[in-house]
Chains A and B, each alone.
Chain A
Amino acid sequence: MTNTYRDSGRAGLVDERQFVDILEERRHSSDLGHALRTFNPHPYQGAAPCSAAELNKAVLEAQYLRYVTKEIAMETGSSVEEVRKEACGILEEMSQNLQLGFIRLMGYTLTKVFKRLFTSIFVNMEGLNMLQQAIQETPVILMPNHRSYVDFLIISYILFTYDIPVPVIAAGIPLAGMKMVGEILRRSGAFFIRRAIGSDKLYWAVLSEYVKAIVRKGYAPMEFYVEGLRSRTLKSLTPKLGMMHMVLEPYFKGEVFDITLVPISISYDRVLEESLLAHELLGVPKPKESTMGLLKASKVLQEDYGTMHVNFGRPLSVRQLCHGKINRCQYNLIPRDLPQKPTAEAQACVSWLAHLMVRIQEEGSLISPWSLMACLLLQAPITVLTEEGLLWQQLTEKTLWLRKLALDYGARLNWSGQAPDSDVMSSAVALHCSIVHRKAGRVYLVQEEELARKRPISLEEGVTRTAAAVLMLASYRNQLLHVFVRPALLATAIHITKSTQRNELFTFFCFLQDLFSYEFIFIPDKLSQDFEEACLLLKKCGAVHISQQEVTLSDMGLEALSFLQALLQPFIDSYQVMFRYLSEEGVNVFTEKQFLPAVRNLATKLILSGELHTYEALSSDTQKNVLSALRRLEAVTKLRASEQNEYKVNKAAVRRTGDILSGKIPPQMLQTTPDARL
């Protein structure tokens, strides 16, 4: 039962026959014809079509919302009618208004856009067929990863093309604010959720009733991003549990027989927002979503973005997944529509499922040759990339080596054997001419010219300039981190502790997993399995011998071992910089707004002095992750009374964490219980 969610024997080179290029047909037949095609999907059995107005009415009349309304009226002293009106307003702002006409319009526009941007959009037909089946049997939740704004409507587009009910989609409220576009999205099935809802009880109530009503009615699949938002680093994000819980609750409470989760992995050869994202990470603020912005971005549309893969995962039965994980009898003694805090058991189950979905998304995503190359480029010294150039020969040889390792580790590579390998790598570099360029047998990092032209740039600006390119490279590396992260943690543990004792390595492995829990996504309470997997994979590439007690190095796999260890080095270095800042330079109490620029300055200084070798320390994402990790380890605490999100640091604890990470404190000194906090 535990492995039912795994695709068996599907790893490795991707069988291209399974994937169909949906743009192929669009290039040969009329776009308008496609938009006006007969759309006659088969929804969840017995589910009557439900108009937006009917849905909203059902939500407002729900007993649950009535309870909450009454409660809030009592607490605030306002009348029930006033609270109800407010709820109406929230619902109005939130609700989708899915209309077939707009789906057609969207279909027409997207065909035009997609054809311009992508050479092809590959979709796995097997997954689509299974989805079609599943949709007729239970309510379906579509759970794609989110790497680009482009993928917002891609699922709807595909489902429309293949006569499957189009989904309603959870979207961030900023999208709703865009003139026209917001309304078009709304009518294409988007519903809008505010960011940072915090403790707004009424808002939570309306949202959760809305989501649950959609799931219960089951007339359309629901799509949402379990990661909450678009990942700026192309790395998976820690899943958000609120929405996941709302979606699952109708099953927990027996309001539906089952719910089907369909993980969807969307992978890009090249992401539209690559440069924008890198700059955001460096502290250049994200432009507000606006229609004008969208139009301005149209120059982005002139470029080539290669192919996009949409991989529909195997539909998963929530009922099967939750078997033995949740006792549904817990809802027997209290009216089900009474507002109730979820039990620890329910929370754990939701969290587990959410993490599992992220893991499956990762496993289902396709890794491009470019990701392999980006990985290796990042491991070259920065001066080589910016000045001397990396030998093409060297890069390609190493890339082929890495390709083999990745395949051994079960990665799904988008690297067909049909074209010669050299052509594949050349075209990958050509596609990413915004990041690297190839000249005279060497590869160089592209530095932004705009900045350079205006005036002679300062040293600090030079750092930022290089950092932008490095962060872009890093984002493509991040696409394949999940393949290597477990053995890499073990390789790092071996490297830092110099230990061969299995239990010591396990302790350190747990420490690393805990420390990097915001960096890499692990399914909770699966430490031993992760460790076993790491051992197995290291053994597979000949790097270690494994016995009951010991993990000993072998001469055979030094190359793999050093690659894996180098893969995590930027993270370790970045974390150490921030530990250093917090434990030595910074003040005891600070806000996030103060913290980010301060560590950025420190990192820049260290890079310039040659002490720090990674530019990734400049990424605000990494910086925030460090804060979260330290909070988790209770070395940093959030001050409750503070209104501005102030943090208080325990310098000794931070220092100790840094010392463990650098190997100054041997693993014997760590507590051996895996979940023990430091």
Chain B
Amino acid sequence: MLYISTKYQIIRKDFPFYLGKTAHGGLWVQIKNLPGHLPKESPSHVQEIMKWNGWGYSDSRFLFNKKGQAEFTGKRYRLSGMIIPGLKDWFECTFGASLQHKTPPLLNSSAVQPPTLNEAFVEELKSTGIPFSQDAEDRVFRAHGHCLHEIFALREGKFGRVPDMVVWPNCHNDVVKIVELASKHNVCLIPYGGGTSVSSALECPPEETRSIVSLDTSQMNRILWVDEKNLTAHVEAGIVGQDLERLLNESGYCTGHEPDSMEFSSLGGWVATRASGMKKNIYGNIEDLVVHIKMVTPQGVIEKSCQGPRMSTGPDIHHFIMGSEGTLGVVTEVTMKIRPMPEYQKYGSVVFPNFEQGVACLREVARQRCAPASIRLMDNEQFKFGHALKPQVSSIFTSFLDGLKKFYITKFKGFDPNRLCVATLLFEGDREKVLQHEKQVYDIAAKFGGLAAGEDNGQRGYMLTFVIAYLRDLGMDYYVIGESFETSVPWDRVLDICRNVKARIVRECKERGVQFPPLSTCRVTQTYDAGACVYFYFAFNYRGLSDPVQCQNLHAAREEILANGGSLSHHHGVGKLRKEWMRETVSNVGMGMLKSVKDYVDPNNIFGNRNLL
């Protein structure tokens, strides 16, 4: 911190970063040190600062105040405490929703089934001194991820099968003990990291008759060492993204791995699902970042013998671990690459006359391999959504300036406000190079009719990612439900898949009797040499529908994705939500390979969350 505070000046509280100004006038970002996060003494404490039936921190939520204006509560985020004047109109117009019709969550949490305990296991566990709990709240909290159907059920006070107890190992050896005991007493273990899964991966299989133990890794959250010579750090797998970055930042380093869930998701979870970070263009995805993994399985511990940067030693055993989704064991420790913190960071944005031009530009950027740390393209609906989230502006001058910009783009440049779309950019590196890089990208954009649209728009775009999950909870208060999902697809199919999947959602909603057309929107969030990652959002007003969650039609949307050459998942994983498509995705032989690994590593299905296969 000393290093930073002498050189930089903090200019505003930001989410989930501190945003500051460097001596050169560039921007820098610093992960915030959040107070009171997971104190070691009381592992159950997490429920007190986090919602149990919605997204994120309890103190942070959207609401419509008495004047009918939207505001965001709390103090954690840039939007916190602000009025968002445009949101109400957007909300009502987009969904045909009304503030008169509320659907508050039901708060009876009495319906939790009593735990099925394996007494012998509990007895032996007690003797190890590892903390555990059979408290209903602790169990419910770890029984779900953040799929719409999971949250919807929680709000209705419906709990299916939940873990029978929760255990908090403190280190690798604790995990070894727990897994041994579980194997010995035939107990089902479900590893739990940050709980941000969106693949039904944390759902307890209803057919499971054994005692289910949720293995919560949150107490294994230390950085064990930093190797500055090789630029690696050895970290316990339970550490949460923002803590990892904060702690490394203190010594001037970062991993650069920033998935959208990084406030809450854990390193072990990233490894287990093959996560992808926003700035993968510079730092790589999780598979590029890990150097060494230690995982505890019922057969023992699996790890490599050295830290060589690349090996030709048969199929990479890391790839059995990455994406195993908790079916083979628990990742306990990971050696990760680290980088010196970037000297300079700069947001940017480009407005395109339409989505087609925007995609063409991203494709060209990828062809020239000059993608900035992050480049994302939002479609028109999302662009409008972003606008609706603008906080109240303080000065008449700003609003005048906004008006002028709008006039310039729509009237002077002839962009159709119902077609234009925006790309958000994040550049990182040393100042000279960033500026040079920025010019290169803007020059390419100009060839596709793109106009630079300022840092502010870019930054708001990234902010959207973090608050959209909170917005879903607001929607659910007013009969609006929504979900998101992602895929990866070759470049030549990007436009087709975006159009077809969005249209499929609209048509399915219509066929299922959804009265008001849904919000159906997408963005291209990552670029690769051979394709891109596309993220879809949709939401609709479910008043008058008997089974709203069924109407969301994730199934149809995923079939549409697959029929358009998209992958089953780019980074969310398969879980139980998408496993019906695994066989056609990896072929019969592929499926057999995975199965035989599972059969060897975990013949008694101790890691019985039944994800993936």
Contacts and interface: CB of A to CB of B under 8 A. Distances in A.
Contacts of B499: 257
B504 interface: yes
A342 interface: no
A257 B492 contact: no
Contacts of A258: 503
Contacts of B496: 254-255
B492 A335 contact: yes
A329 interface: yes
23 contacts: A46-B419, A254-B493, A254-B496, A254-B497, A254-B500, A254-B563, A254-B564, A254-B565, A255-B496, A257-B503, A257-B504, A258-B503, A327-B563, A328-B563, A328-B564, A329-B562, A329-B563, A329-B565, A329-B584, A331-B565, A332-B565, A335-B492, A336-B493
Given A254-B500, A255-B496, A257-B499, 7 more contacts: A46-B419, A254-B493, A257-B500, A257-B503, A328-B563, A328-B564, A332-B565
Interface in A44-61: 46
Interface in A313-339: 327-329, 331-332, 335-336
Identify whether the interface residues of A are mostly helix, strand, loop, or mixed.
loop
Contacts of B564: 254, 328
Nearest to A63: B492
A327 B496 CA distance: 17
A37 to B, nearest CB: 28
Interface of B: 419, 492-493, 496-497, 499-500, 503-504, 562-565, 584
Interface residues of A, number: 12
Q: Interface centre among A258, A328, A335, by most B CB within 10 Å?
A: A328
Contacts of B565: 254, 329, 331-332
Nearest to A216: B496
Nearest to B567: A332
Nearest to B416: A46
Nearest to B504: A257
A319 to B, nearest CB: 8
Nearest to A258: B503
A318 to B, nearest CB: 13
Contacts of B563: 254, 327-329
B497 to A, nearest CB: 7
Nearest to B502: A257
A49 B238 CA distance: 57
A255 B564 CA distance: 9
Contact of B492 (A327, A329, A336): A336
Interface class of chain B by DSSP: helix
B292 to A, nearest CB: 35
Interface string A85-122: 00000000000000000000000000000000000000
A327 B584 CA distance: 12
A154 B459 CA distance: 57
A188 B499 CA distance: 31
B549 to A, nearest CB: 23
Contacts of B419: 46
Interface of A: 46, 254-255, 257-258, 327-329, 331-332, 335-336
Contacts of A254: 493, 496-497, 500, 563-565
B524 to A, nearest CB: 17
Nearest to B499: A257
A258 B511 CA distance: 15
A331 B504 CA distance: 19
A46 B497 CA distance: 17
A336 B584 CA distance: 20
Contacts of B493: 254, 336
Residue among B492, B503, B563 with most chain A CB within 10 A? B563
A121 B419 CA distance: 42
A255 B565 CA distance: 11
B245 to A, nearest CB: 38
A456 to B, nearest CB: 71
A336 B565 CA distance: 10
B51 to A, nearest CB: 37
Contacts of A336: 492-493
A254 B499 CA distance: 9
A332 B561 CA distance: 11
A327 B492 CA distance: 19
B363 to A, nearest CB: 14
Contacts of A46: 419
A331 B419 CA distance: 30
| Residue among A46, A332, A335 having the largest count of chain B Cβ atoms under 10 Å | A332
Nearest to B511: A320
Contacts of B492: 335-336
A331 B500 CA distance: 15
**Which 3 pairs across A and B sit closest by C-beta, in order of nearness?**
A328-B563, A257-B503, A254-B564
A328 to B, nearest CB: 4
A18 B433 CA distance: 71
A258 to B, nearest CB: 7
Q: Which of B419, B492, B497, B564 has the most CB of A within 10 A?
A: B564
A331 B493 CA distance: 11
A329 B499 CA distance: 17
Contacts of B500: 254, 257
Contacts of A327: 563
B181 to A, nearest CB: 45
Nearest to A328: B563
B521 to A, nearest CB: 15
A338 to B, nearest CB: 11
A46 B500 CA distance: 14
B418 to A, nearest CB: 9
A46 B354 CA distance: 11
A258 B560 CA distance: 12
B177 to A, nearest CB: 46
Nearest to B566: A332
Contacts of A257: 499-500, 503-504
Contacts of A255: 496
Nearest to B565: A332
A254 B565 CA distance: 9
Contacts of A329: 562-563, 565, 584
Nearest to B418: A46
A440 to B, nearest CB: 64
B44 to A, nearest CB: 47
A240 to B, nearest CB: 27
Nearest to A250: B496
A255 B584 CA distance: 22
Contacts of A335: 492
Nearest to B500: A257
A258 B565 CA distance: 16
Contacts of B497: 254
A542 B504 CA distance: 48
A50 to B, nearest CB: 14
Contacts of A331: 565
B436 to A, nearest CB: 33
A329 B563 CA distance: 5
B167 to A, nearest CB: 43
B183 to A, nearest CB: 40
A525 to B, nearest CB: 24
A257, A327, A336: residue with the most chain B Cβ atoms closer than 10 Å: A257
Nearest to B563: A328
Nearest to A48: B354
A254 B504 CA distance: 12
A433 to B, nearest CB: 53
A133 to B, nearest CB: 13
A46 B565 CA distance: 24
Contacts of B504: 257
B454 to A, nearest CB: 27
B484 to A, nearest CB: 20
Nearest to B503: A257
A257 B495 CA distance: 11
A570 to B, nearest CB: 48
A335 B493 CA distance: 10
A81 to B, nearest CB: 26
A258 B499 CA distance: 11
B286 to A, nearest CB: 26
